């Protein structure tokens, strides 16, 4: 099965999708330490449904909806050497908060995402299936460090661990690897950006035949420049719609000429952006880059939205990209 990607304005998603009931049930089992066959089949069913929605919307480059991840930091901490997870604290109803705690040297133990990627790919109808990993800077920021007392050393060890995982994914056939670093823009002091850069070099340096992506959102993104442009990244995936595309001016200032995944859907509102409004957003991106280098996607993951809203937003986004492509043809 081969799907022909458009050569302009390809559509994609950041990663997460609203949790299906099967995923919520799987989280309950996992919290009790039960990762048996029932847990696995619930996760797979939720994943299948998320991918079916992405396909129904018509997305070109898919993700698996992150239905296995109740929390994007805890999920990886549970699989790596060096972490413990704090006892769950109930915030309200059935919302629990747990935090990774670093207790020894961080290292890679076993494959984390490879089986899920294979399964997701088998449902992708020939489309590329992107892999998303929570980056080491964000992992560290959202953890409690009882071992290193040195942010850089912890982050670089984590980057080494993720390099092993990324190599396993590439061997399995993954071609789109995305590192999510939402915490990087929250402080974005120069020393943080430089440490993150070292970590990216360890994780992605020298990898060929792979699209290397980073997703960053919120915070003071302009403070990541210009250093972030030297990271071994092929495609920068940013939140832009939510701030009225102000970041594009920063990119212009630095003569940005890499690939840009442009956020054209605001994930913080249930309002469904009309097709014309999204087309205007794409036009803003086209002032900066040719359509071959511009990808169209929501600002961030969709998990906080209601499923119907998320799906409706994506459908309008795909339609907007299609119409702009037609206008360009
Ligand atoms: Zn985000």
Residue 290's CATH number: 3.20.20.210
Residue 103 lies in a domain: no
Q: Which domain holds residue 241?
A: 58-72+108-328
φ, ψ for residue 287, nearest 5 deg = -70, -20
Q: What are phi and psi of 163, to 5 degrees?
A: -60, -40
CA distance 224 to 111: 31
pLDDT tens for 138-183 read 999 999 999 999 999 999 999 999 999 999 999 999 999 999 999 9
Residue 64 resides in a domain = yes
Structure confidence by residue, pLDDT tens digits, 101-135:
999 999 999 999 999 999 999 999 999 999 999 99
Residue 267 in any domain: the answer is yes
Cα 137 to ligand 1 centre (Å): 14
Ligand 1 centroid to Cα of residue 71, in Å, is 13
In the numeric block, which tokens belong to residue 136?
Answer: 């080491």
Q: Kindly indicate the confidence band of residue 238, based on its pLDDT and cuts at 50, 70 and 90.
A: very high
DSSP-H helix ranges across 178-246? 184-187, 190-204
Computed over every residue of the chain, the mean pLDDT equals 96
* Cα of 181 from ligand 1 centre, angstroms: 8
Q: Are 180 and 72 in contact (CB under 8 A)?
A: yes
Q: How far is the CA of 66 from the centre of ligand 1 (A)?
A: 13
Chain centroid to CA 269: how far? 19
127 in any annotated domain: yes
Tell me how far the alpha carbon of residue 261 lies from the centroid of ligand 1, in angstroms. 12
Q: How far is the CA of 263 from the centre of ligand 1 (A)?
A: 10
**pLDDT, position 90:** 78
User: Which SS3 state, helix, strand or coil, does residue 258 take?
Assistant: coil
Query: Residues 239, 242, 244, CA angle at the centre, nearest 5°?
Result: 105
The predicted model gives 198-214 an average pLDDT of 97
Asked whether residue 281 is assigned to any structural domain, the reply reads: yes
Q: Interior CA angle at 243 toward 238 and 247, to 5°?
A: 50
Q: How many folded domains does the chain comprise?
A: 1
Cα separation, 154 vs 296, in Å, equals: 34
Q: Is residue 143 part of a domain?
A: yes
Alpha-carbon distance of 110 to 164, in angstroms, equals: 9
CB atoms within 10 A of CB 289: 18
CA dihedral 101, 105, 108, 110 (to 10 degrees): -70
């Amino acid at each position: 099965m081969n799907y022909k990607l458009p050569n302009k304005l390809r559509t994609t998603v950041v990663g997460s999708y609203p949790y299906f009931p099967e995923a919520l049930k799987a989280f309950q089992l996992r919290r009790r330490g039960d990762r048996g066959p029932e847990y696995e089949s619930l996760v797979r069913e939720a994943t299948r449904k998320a991918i079916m929605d992405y396909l129904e919307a018509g997305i070109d480059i898919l993700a698996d909806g992150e239905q296995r991840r109740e929390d994007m930091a805890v999920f990886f901490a549970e699989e790596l050497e060096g972490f413990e997870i704090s006892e769950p604290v109930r915030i309200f109803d059935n919302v629990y908060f747990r935090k990774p705690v670093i207790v020894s040297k961080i290292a890679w133990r076993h494959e984390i995402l490879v089986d899920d990627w294979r399964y997701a790919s088998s449902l992708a109808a020939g489309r590329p299936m992107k892999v998303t990993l929570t980056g080491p800077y964000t992992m560290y920021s959202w953890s409690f460090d009882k071992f290193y007392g040195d942010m850089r050393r912890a982050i670089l060890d984590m980057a080494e661990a993720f390099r092993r995982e990324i190599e396993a994914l590439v061997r399995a056939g993954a071609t789109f690897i995305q590192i999510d670093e939402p915490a990087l823009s929250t402080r974005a002091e120069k020393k943080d950006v430089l440490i993150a850069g070292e970590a990216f070099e360890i994780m992605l340096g020298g990898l060929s035949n792979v699209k290397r992506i980073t997703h960053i959102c919120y915070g003071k993104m302009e403070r990541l420049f210009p250093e972030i442009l030297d990271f071994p990244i092929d495609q920068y995936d940013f939140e832009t719609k939510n701030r009225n595309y102000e970041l594009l001016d920063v990119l212009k200032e630095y003569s940005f000429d890499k690939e840009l995944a442009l956020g054209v859907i605001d994930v913080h509102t249930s309002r469904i952006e009309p097709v014309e409004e999204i087309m205007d957003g794409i036009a803003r991106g086209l002032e900066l880059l040719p359509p071959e280098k511009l990808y169209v996607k929501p600002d961030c993951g969709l998990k906080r939205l209601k499923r119907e809203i998320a799906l409706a937003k994506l459908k309008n986004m795909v339609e907007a990209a299609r119409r702009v492509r037609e206008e360009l043809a």
